[in-house]
């Protein structure tokens, strides 16, 4: 009987290991050079003032993007997105960290406010958390779910709260939370970032009102890595600077407490302050710049 249970134990952990390996392969397949089409359209709206409500315009944009693997350990993979625009101008885009069976979360509460939450281990067993960061590596949104590998499909899906995306907060301020349902699915020529989003007004008492809904469908079509050579070069020249930025943020996250940020300092967002620093800036200079945005 003891031998029988030993075989079951070996078989069980073998299944878990195989699943984990397939998950990691799927995440790593998000890396590379892509021609990206970004599509967003507002689908439904429920304003109380229907006469004066102005929905967001339909938005379609095209870009070349390099997804750079930055870090890989047994339970974590870090991927940095870099946009290539104009004549090989590089814009540091969003970053995504994937962490296996993560229990530490920061949930967006609106108005540059993230609430720290800790989940029990059994709630995230076998799951991967995707943590998404802004261009300046401050937190954006995160959520946990299992990668699904079935019928030849490979995808991950989660619903979580996030700040307004740039395409929205530069044009409107009539809501303060985007509830995002994100699906990342591998396809034969790349991957799809499929989104079903809700535009939410959260009041001071924590009550939510859904103002509108939005569809996002971003297509990442794989192309030769050589097309993204400029982004690869830029990352080699700037990776130490951004490693220091990540180090500072990690120190803040490890405090395991709520995080409240200022949107502007001296009428400028954080990414502009970081851009003003030299690529050789010290850890102390970077820490001081980020600290100026953290409300103690």
Q: Is residue 266 part of a domain?
A: no
Contact 11, 36 (CB under 8 A): no
Counting the structural domains of the chain, the total is 1
Q: Is residue 288 part of a domain?
A: no
Q: Is residue 291 part of a domain?
A: no
Would you tell me how many other CB atoms lie within 10 Å of the CB of residue 285?
A: 14
- Determine the pLDDT at residue 6: 53
Burial of residue 221 (CB within 10 Å: 0-12, 13-18, 19+) is middle
Question: Please, what is the angle between helix 229-253 and helix 283-291, to 10°?
Answer: 60
Residue ranges making up the domain that contains 140 = 2-224
Residue spans of beta strands (DSSP E) within 31-167: 32-45, 59-72, 76-85, 89-100, 104-108, 113-118, 128-133, 139-145, 148-150, 153-162
Q: Is residue 218 part of a domain?
A: yes
d(CA 219, CA 75) in angstroms, rounded, equals 27
Q: Is residue 86 part of a domain?
A: yes
Contact 148, 156 (CB under 8 A): yes
- Find all residues with CB under 8 Å of 189, minimum gap 6, and list them: 221, 222
Q: Is residue 99 part of a domain?
A: yes
- Determine the pLDDT at residue 87: 86
Instruction: Output the pTM of the full model.
Output: 0.92
- Output the CA torsion sign for 265, 270, 272, 278: positive
Contact 226, 268 (CB under 8 A): no
Q: Residue 77: CA atoms inside 13 Å, Cβ hemisphere, count?
A: 20
Contact 26, 186 (CB under 8 A): yes
Give the closest residue to 219 by CA, choosing from 191, 199, 257.
191
* Backbone dihedral angles phi then psi of residue 80, each to the nearest 5 degrees: -110, 130
Q: Is residue 211 part of a domain?
A: yes
Q: Is residue 200 part of a domain?
A: yes
- Determine the pLDDT at residue 19: 75
d(CA 18, CA 160) in angstroms, rounded, equals 28
Secondary structure letter of residue 102 according to DSSP: -
- The one-digit pLDDT tens for each residue of the chain (296 residues) are 555 545 444 444 444 566 788 999 999 999 999 999 999 999 999 999 999 999 999 999 999 999 999 999 999 999 999 999 988 899 999 999 999 999 999 999 999 999 999 999 999 999 999 999 999 999 999 999 999 999 999 999 999 999 999 999 999 999 999 999 999 999 999 999 999 999 999 999 999 999 999 999 999 999 999 999 999 999 999 999 999 999 999 999 999 999 999 999 999 999 999 999 999 999 999 999 999 999 98
Q: Which residues pair with 92 in a beta bridge?
A: 82
């Amino acid at each position: 009987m003891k031998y029988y249970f030993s075989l079951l134990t070996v078989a069980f952990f073998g299944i878990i290991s195989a699943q984990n390996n397939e998950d990691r392969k799927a995440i790593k397949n998000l890396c590379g050079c892509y021609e990206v089409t970004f599509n967003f359209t507002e689908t439904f709206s429920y304003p109380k003032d229907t006469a004066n409500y102005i929905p967001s315009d339909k938005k379609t944009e095209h870009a070349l993007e390099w997804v750079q693997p930055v870090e890989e350990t047994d339970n974590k993979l870090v991927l940095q997105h870099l946009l290539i625009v104009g004549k090989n101008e590089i814009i540091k885009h969003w970053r995504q960290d994937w962490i296996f069976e993560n229990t530490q979360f920061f949930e967006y509460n609106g108005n540059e406010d993230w609430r720290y939450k800790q989940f029990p281990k059994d709630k995230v067993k076998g799951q991967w958390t995707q943590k998404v960061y802004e261009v300046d590596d401050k937190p954006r949104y995160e959520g946990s779910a299992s990668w699904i590998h079935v019928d030849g499909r490979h995808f991950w899906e989660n619903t979580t709260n996030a700040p307004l995306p740039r395409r929205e907060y530069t044009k409107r301020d009539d809501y303060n939370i985007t509830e995002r349902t994100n699906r990342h699915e591998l396809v034969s020529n790349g991957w799809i970032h499929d989104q079903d989003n809700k535009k939410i007004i959260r009041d001071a008492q924590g009550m939510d009102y859904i103002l509108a809904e939005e569809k996002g469908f971003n297509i990442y079509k794989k192309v030769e890595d050589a097309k993204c050579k400029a982004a690869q070069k830029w990352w080699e020249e700037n990776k130490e600077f951004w490693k220091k930025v990540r180090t500072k943020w990690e120190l803040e996250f490890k405090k395991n407490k709520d995080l409240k940020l200022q949107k502007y300092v001296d009428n400028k967002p954080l990414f502009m302050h970081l851009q003003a620093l030299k690529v050789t800036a010290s850890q102390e200079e970077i820490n001081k710049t980020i600290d100026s945005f953290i409300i103690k």
